[in-house]
Structure 1
Amino acid sequence: MTFSIAARCDKTGQFGIAISSSSIAVGARCPWLQAGVGAVSSQNVTLPRLGSLALQRLEQGMSSQGALDSALREDAFSAYRQLIAIDRQGSTALFSGDQSLGVYHGVQGHACVAAGNMLADKSVVEAMTSAFENASGLLAERLMAALQAALERGGEAGAVHSAALKVVGEHSWPIVDLRVDWAQQDPIGELAALWRAYQPQMQDYITRAIDPREAPSYGVPGDE
């Protein structure tokens, strides 16, 4: 039902997740991120609480593997869960319960980890980490490259209908939080279009939040 990648940028310390699913509104349930702490995706038969629990453990100083292990111990149905995590050191962890759906797989790469279930093929996940490691540019761009590589390799066994891209930096709020909650066709293409529209404005929104006096024109009637 889902394939995702979580990553950390070595240069900026940003964390990000890109994810797509055949289910509606995957971005509302699966990606969990906290600036300066880490990123977790809780997927397959999703229990969103596992994402927040794992982030709490990361904030307490646990490793990514320790955080997942600790969170999963609080779930009586961990066999149905699939999780990936990355911590502030860039260390990664993954878990796929033996009741994960269909073809499932996970791969740990350099400063990234990817996993999926109901996959067309295990190579879908391998394509994600490879694309991320070989892409350049902003973290969000590298995550989108990974998502598109997964789709080109076959993606899910069935059609995907939702996608999301989320990035946290040095602030307490996400600097990128884009979602396609439902599309009959090509939600990843729609997400890529959203990113292309948002990227030139991203810094402006950060500036407006930090110091409105320095904010660029809003371009609306009455704005000077």
Structure 2
Amino acid sequence: MRRSVLVALATLIVTPGFALCQEANSAGIHDPNYLGTFSIIGRDPDTGQLGMGVQSKAFGAGNRAMHAKGGLVIIAHQAAANPMYGAIGIELLQAGYSPEEALEIMVASDEGRDRRQVSILDQEGRTAAWTGTGASDWKGHRCGVNYCAQGNILTGPEVVAAMAASFEASAGTLAERLMDALDAAQAAGGDVRGMQSGAILVVAPRVNGGYSDRVVDIRVDDHDEPLVEMRRVLNVYRSGRMLREAGQMRRDGDLEGAEALAREASRTSPGNDNVWVSLASMLLELGREDDAFEALERAVELNPGRRRTLPRDDAFEGVRDDPRFLRIVGR
């Protein structure tokens, strides 16, 4: 079985579509599509999550630099990036090959290997990495326990070292640890060309009701400060998860605990109008009308469209005729 899979995949790898034209990628540092970048792949053994964070001075790095399958593997492919490393790598891991074996097969079969940078981390914490000699300097990688950090066109080795040190020392969710590692890398110098795009992807088996493996999937394709924007978007996501947990606490009868968690969500993502509407409904139920109307005013400031939806929201049925509520919704 393994031999037949190997033959089929090796044949696919050496087809013309797999090896990128050397001439087309000769621009290197001057090519806006060249995935000069820094990235980190990581594993959380407690949750079973696998993830990747990436930032590049190239458009849409998150669309081209990563492949993942929850419960199996996360694969980073950059420099003269070729997504076949992700697609075929997943097939090889599913067939029973280790990350090291899979990478060896793919690299040996790839005529463009010298310009690739690839790293693999599987569900068991096994790693493998390759940095071709033709990738743009500074280039390199470092794999440790439950992570691999890598980059090319960097200001120096301190960028990869900063990612590794951050991940080894950090706590919290995997997405937050990946975000922290990217910030550390940028603080150490980052991509010598600057910043443009980034992404964070976290996967696990059977999430979202079993219909997906995506836990977190956020991308910033073109931005002057992509890491700042990614942090903002990640916090919007985090605040949404807090609201869902607060909603469950509320249904379980812990209204004060739910209000405290919703308040934390408002601090995590103060620009999320959903947070302020949910908080207001909890405050009303607790009898704190002044605080509730203050939260509603904040929601409407952030999203004037709430003036149309709040009067139809059953959570505010008891205050629909209140002059303070009518003033907030403009009636």
Indicate whether the TM-score tops 0.5.
yes
Of 195, 199, 210, the residue aligned with 1:160 is 195
Which residues of 2 match residues 179-198 of structure 1 at below 5 A?
Answer: 179-183=219-223, 185-198=224-237
> Are 2:132 and 1:114 aligned?
no
Write the letter of the residue equivalent to 2:193.
Answer: G
State the alpha-carbon separation in 2 of the partners of residues 223 and 33 from structure 1: 40
Q: Which residue is equivalent to 2:72? A: 37
Whether 2:135 is the aligned partner of 1:100: answer yes
Deviation (angstroms), 1:71: 2.2
**CA RMSD across the alignment:** 2.0
Q: Does 1:87 align with 2:127?
A: no
Larger mean Cα displacement after TM superposition, 17-26 or 53-62: 53-62
Q: Distance in 2 between matches of 1:146 and 1:134?
A: 10
Q: Partner of 2:48: helix, strand, or coil? A: coil
Offset at residue 66 of structure 1 (A): 1.2
Q: Does 1:150 align with 2:189?
A: no
With over 3 angstroms needed to count, the CA separation of the structure-2 counterparts of 1:34 and 1:157, relative to structure 1, is: same
How far off its partner does 1:204 sit? Answer: 7.2
The partner residue of 1:131 within 144, 163, 166 is: 166
- Equivalent of 2:54 in 1, 15, 19: 19
Matches of 2:161 and 2:241, distance apart in 1? 30
Distance 2:205 2:241 in 1: 14
CA contact (8 A) 1:20 1:161 kept: yes
Q: Aligned letter for 1:26? A: A
| Residue identity matched to 1:161 | Q
For 1:163, what is the secondary structure of its paired residue?
A: strand
Count of residues paired in the alignment: 213
Higher strand share: 1
Structure 2 Cα separation of the partners of residues 37 and 204 of structure 1: 30
Using the TM superposition, give the Cα deviation of residue 223 of structure 1 relative to its aligned residue in structure 2, in angstroms. 6.6
Residue 200 of structure 1, CA deviation: 2.2
Gapped runs of 5+ residues in structure 1?
206-216
Relative to structure 1, the CA distance from residue 203 to residue 170 in structure 2 (aligned partners, 3 Å threshold; closer, same or farther) is farther
Shift of 1:167: 0.3
**Is residue 177 from structure 1 mapped to residue 212 from structure 2 by the alignment?**
no
Tell me the TM-score normalized by structure 1: 0.89
CA deviations 1:83-122 (Å, max 9, x no partner) are 0110111011110111011210100111000100000011
- Aligned amino acid, residue 133 of structure 2: D
Q: For residues 113 and 159 of structure 1, what CA distance do their matches in structure 2 show?
A: 22
The correspondence for 1:58, drawn from 93, 96, 99, is 93
SS in 1 for 2:38: strand
> Counterparts of 1:121 and 1:24 in 2: how far apart (Å)?
22
Q: Secondary structure at the match of 2:47?
A: coil
1:203 Cα deviation (Å)? 7.4
Contact 1:57/1:70 (<8 A) preserved:
no
Question: Are the equivalent residues in 2 in contact too, given 1:148–1:188 (CA < 8 A)?
Answer: yes
Higher RCO (CA 8 Å, separation ≥ 6 residues): 1
Deviation per residue, 1:128-157 (Å, 9 max, x gap):
011011111000011011000000000011
